[in-house]
Amino acid sequence: GQNIDQPTEMTATEGAIVQINCTYQTSGFNGLFWYQQHAGEAPTFLSYNVLDGLEEKGRFSSFLSRSKGYSYLLLKELQMKDSASYLCAAGMGTDKLIFGTGTRLQVFP
Amino acid sequence: DTEVTQTPKHLVMGMTNKKSLKCEQHMGHRAMYWYKQKAKKPPELMFVYSYEKLSINESVPSRFSPECPNSSLLNLHLHALQPEDSALYLCASSPSRGVGSYEQYFGPGTRLTVT
């Protein structure tokens, strides 16, 4: 089977740093991908990791450890507009993305 | 143009109706996808068309039928749906095979209600 788990909800304060964790157990894994989804809108691609290590993209960074089946998304200098759901997804086989349970992040002033 | 468009935005249909959802992209992407998303749940992959070849999620009921008339268009034909099929249906496309296929561009979705 395939399991991709994330915390259901997180809260943080504007200007702070937050880390959203994702653990996975999948077969045929080709990489870990992060998407952001605001309420009532479509998901938008944020970041991905194929190899172990940290990828930085502005305020967002993502980390992967393939041996531990673990990834995280780090959001720095949080802004109110970062309040959204964050979805990690495993790339499987050819062209298939399997999404995790999603983490709803609320940023407070 | 980096947009995936979907029509209609909202659809209400009875259990005996036949309807179709449409999706279009003009980014030259060769892979297109249908996802189903229930409230407060992640998107679930239904179908993939990659280079005009269909991959099916075996758990999707036959009352959902995809069609890919050309590499820019993707339809989802609906027939004899059940109330539990009410959800947001998302279309996505991606530029290439390999790692690039996982960087997907999503359309705004069709909110479907089955009565």
Which residues on chain B are in Cβ contact (under 8 Å) with A42?
90, 106-109
**pLDDT single digits (tens) B25-70:** 989 998 999 999 999 899 999 999 988 788 877 889 999 999 999 8
* Residue A92 in tokens: 């499987």
Q: Show the tokens assigned to A49.
A: 């990791």
Each residue of A1-36: pLDDT tens digit?
Answer: 678 999 999 999 999 999 999 999 887 788 999 999
How many angstroms separate the CA atoms of A27 and A5, rounded? Answer: 15
* Distance of residue A51 Cα from the nearest chain B Cα, in angstroms: 11
Tokens of A48: 């991905």
A65 has pLDDT over 70: yes
> Which are the contacts of A29, defined by CB distance < 8 A and separation ≥ 6?
A66, A90, A91, A92
pLDDT of residue A16: 97
Asked if the C-beta of A75 comes within 8 angstroms of chain B's C-beta atoms, the answer is no
For residue B78, pLDDT beyond 80:
yes
The per-residue pLDDT for B85 is 97
Token pair in block for residue B62 = 């036959």
Per DSSP (E only), the strands in chain A are 3-5, 9-13, 18-25, 29-37, 44-49, 53-57, 60-65, 70-75, 84-92, 96-99, 103-108
Residue of B34, B57, B102 to mutate for A, most A C-beta atoms under 10 A: B102
